[in-house]
């Protein structure tokens, strides 16, 4: 019997990039074979070293889009969310239509 693919989507806090100032990369090694997905809620301009905050509703839409893409790529996968700070609120409001097994807020 094969084990289902495990995907973990990270939902970061306000004013930081997708790695949440190193928090998420420090967690990933303990997650075994899970596929980890990090993405930015904000517009990142590497040249000018700026973050432009998107409206909260856009952040919710982005999270749902990431979840839908993961589910479309791996329909049978177990999907969990690890969220931090404002990312917890985004995950709570998103109430994704695609089944999430667990949401862990840190």
pLDDT digit string, tens, across residues 48-106: 989 899 999 999 999 999 999 999 999 999 999 999 999 999 999 987 666 899 999 99
pLDDT band at 1 (very low <50, low <70, confident <90, very high): very low
Side by side, the strands of the sheet bearing 102-105 are: 35-37, 6-11, 78-83, 102-105
| The predicted structure's pLDDT at residue 40 | 95
pLDDT at 2: 56
State the DSSP H helix or E strand holding residue 103, giving kind and residue range, or none if neither: strand 102-105
pLDDT value at residue 4 = 85
Domain 6-105 part of CATH 3.30.499.10: no
**DSSP 8-class letter at 4:** P
Q: Global pTM?
A: 0.91
Distance CA 92, CA 87 (A): 9
User: 8-30: per-residue pLDDT in tens?
Assistant: 999 999 989 999 899 999 999 99
Sign of CA dihedral 45, 46, 50, 53: positive
Domain residues of the chain, as ranges? 6-105
The long-range contacts involving 64-69, CB below 8 angstroms and separated by at least 24 positions, are: 64/94, 64/96, 64/97, 64/98, 66/9, 66/37, 66/39, 67/9, 67/94, 67/96, 67/98, 67/100, 68/96, 68/97, 68/98
pLDDT (0 to 100) of residue 31: 96
């Amino acid at each position: 019997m094969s084990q289902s693919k495990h995907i973990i989507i990270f939902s970061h806090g306000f004013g930081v990039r997708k790695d949440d100032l190193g928090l998420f990369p420090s967690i990933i090694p303990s997650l075994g074979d899970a596929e980890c997905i990090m993405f930015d809620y904000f517009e990142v301009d590497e040249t000018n070293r700026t973050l432009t905050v998107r409206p909260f509703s856009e952040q919710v839409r982005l999270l749902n889009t990431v979840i839908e893409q993961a589910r479309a790529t791996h329909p049978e996968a177990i999907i969990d969310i690890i969220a931090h700070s404002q990312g917890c609120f985004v995950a709570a409001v998103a109430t994704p239509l695609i089944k999430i097994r667990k949401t862990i807020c840190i």
